[in-house]
A and B are shown apart, each in its own frame.
Chain A
Amino acid sequence: MHTQTARSLHNAFLKNELSAVAITTHFLKRIEKIDGEVGAYLTVFNERALKKAEQLDKKRQEGKTLGKLAAVPIALKDNIHVKGETTTCASKFLTNYKAPFDATVTRLLEQEDAILLGKTNLDEFAMGSSNENSALQKTCNPWHLDCVPGGSSGGSSAAVASGLCAISFGSDTGGSIRQPAALCGIVGLKPTYGRVSRYGLVAFGSSLDQIGPMAHSVEDIALVMEAIAKHDPKDATSLTRHTEEYLGSLALSLEGKKIGVPYDFLSNLGSEAKGNFETALENLKELGATLVPIDLNLLNYAVATYYIIATAEASTNLARFDGIRYGIRSKEAKTLQEVYEFSKHDGYGQEVKKRILLGTYVLASGYQDAYYRKATQVRVKIIDAYEKAFEACDIIATPTSPLPCFPMGAIQDPLQMYQQDTYTIGANLARLPAISVPSGFNPEGKPFGLQLTGARNEDALVVSCANAYEKKAPLTPNLPPRYAD
Chain B
Amino acid sequence: MPKSHINEASVKKLSELARIRLNDEEVRSLLPDIQKIVDYVGLLDEVDTSDLSPYAHMPEQSIHTLRDDVPETAISQKELLENAPDHIGSMIRVPQVLTNTPSS
Contact = CB atoms under 8 A, between A and B. Distances in A.
Contacts of B52: 377, 380-381
A100 interface: yes
B2 A236 contact: no
Given A344-B21, A353-B20, A357-B11, A304 B64 contact: no
Contacts of A353: 15, 20, 22, 26, 30
Contact of B94 (A96, A233, A339, A373): A339
B95 A334 contact: yes
A357 B83 contact: no
A376 B30 contact: no
B88 interface: no
Contacts of B44: 301, 304-305, 308, 371, 374-375, 378
A298 B80 CA distance: 46
A325 B94 CA distance: 10
Given A333-B95, A340-B19, A353-B22, A367 B2 contact: yes
Nearest to A325: B84
A100 B20 contact: no
Contact of B47 (A234, A238, A381, A413): A381
B14 to A, nearest CB: 5
Interface in B49-76: 49, 52, 54, 56-59, 62-67, 75
B38 A361 contact: yes
A458 interface: no
Nearest to A330: B21
B4 A378 contact: no
B75 A237 contact: no
Contact of B67 (A100, A233, A315, A415): A233
B41 A371 contact: yes
B27 to A, nearest CB: 10
A237 B65 CA distance: 7
Contact of A237 (B63, B79, B83, B96): B63
A329 B93 CA distance: 11
A274 interface: no
B50 to A, nearest CB: 10
Given A339-B94, A341-B21, A356-B18, A376 B57 contact: yes
Interface in B2-46: 2, 4, 6, 10-11, 14-15, 17-22, 26, 29-30, 33-34, 36-38, 40-46
| A interface, over-half SS | helix
Nearest to A348: B20
A414 B85 CA distance: 34
Nearest to B87: A325
Nearest to B61: A237
Nearest to A303: B40
Contacts of B75: 100-101
Contact of A236 (B10, B49, B58, B66): B66
A231 B11 CA distance: 42
Contacts, number: 173
A114 to B, nearest CB: 24
Contacts of A344: 18-21
A87 B59 CA distance: 34
A3 interface: no
Contact of B85 (A328, A357, A366): A328
A358 B56 CA distance: 23
A329 B86 contact: yes
A388 interface: no
A121 interface: no
Contacts of A366: 2
Contact of B30 (A354, A362, A373): A354
A327 B67 contact: no
Given A345-B20, A348-B20, A301 B14 contact: no
A377 B56 contact: yes
Contacts of B1: 370-371, 374
Contact of B64 (A237, A362, A370): A237
Nearest to A357: B14
Contacts of A323: 85
A370 B2 contact: yes
A378 B47 contact: yes
Interface in A320-371: 322-329, 333-342, 344-345, 348, 350, 353-354, 356-358, 360-362, 364, 366-367, 369-371
Contacts of A240: 64-65
A381 B53 CA distance: 12
Contact of B95 (A238, A305, A325, A339): A339
Nearest to A311: B37
A238 B65 CA distance: 8
A469 interface: no
Contact of A301 (B34, B47, B86): B47
Nearest to B55: A373
A381 B51 CA distance: 10
20 contacts: A96-B83, A100-B82, A234-B67, A237-B62, A298-B47, A304-B42, A304-B44, A305-B44, A308-B44, A322-B19, A324-B85, A325-B83, A325-B92, A338-B21, A339-B95, A342-B21, A361-B6, A367-B2, A376-B57, A414-B37
Interface of B: 1-2, 4, 6, 10-11, 14-15, 17-22, 26, 29-30, 33-34, 36-38, 40-47, 49, 52, 54, 56-59, 62-67, 75, 79-80, 82-86, 92, 94-97
